[in-house]
Amino acid sequence: MASLSGSSDTCYLLPPNSEDWEERGIPAFVYGPQELVVEGIQWPSSTPSTPGPLPPSRFDSALCAAWRQRMELGLFRYRLGELQTQTLPGAMGFVAQLNVERGVQRRRPQNIKSVRQAFDPEQFNFNKIRPGEVLFRLHQEPCGPGHPHHEDILVMINVSPLEWGHVLLVPEPACGLPQRLRPGALRAGLQAVLLSSHPGFRVGFNSLGGLASVNHLHLHGYYLNHRLPVEGAPSKPLDPEGRLHLLQAVPAPGFLFYTSKTGPDLEALVSRVCRATDYLTDHEIAHNLFVTRGAPPGEASPSAVLTGVRVILWARRSSFGIKEGDAFNVALCELAGHLPVKTSQDFSSLTEAAALALVQDCLLPPAQADEVQTALVDLMAQQET
Is 218 known to be catalytic? yes
**Burial (0-12, 13-18, 19+ Cβ within 10 Å), 188:** buried
- Beta-bridged to residue 31, according to DSSP, are 140
| Integer CA distances (angstroms), 124 to 109, 234, 351, in order | 10, 40, 36
Which of these is catalytic: 150, 166, 216, 218? 218
Q: How far apart are CA 9 and CA 270, in angstroms?
A: 31
Q: What is the C-alpha to C-alpha distance for residues 45 and 290, in angstroms, rounded to an integer?
A: 24
CB-count exposure of residue 362 (10 Å: 0-12, 13-18, 19+): buried
Residue type, 57: S
CA distances to 74, 99, 102, 250 from 334, in Å: 28, 14, 15, 11
Helix (H) or strand (E) holding 274: helix 264-282
- The CB density around residue 357, as the number of other CB atoms within 10 Å, is 10
**How far is residue 167's CA from residue 80's CA, in Å, rounded to a whole number?**
13
Of residues 182, 326, 362, the one with CA closest to residue 254: 362
What are residue 204's DSSP bridge partners? 220, 290
Residues marked as catalytic: 218
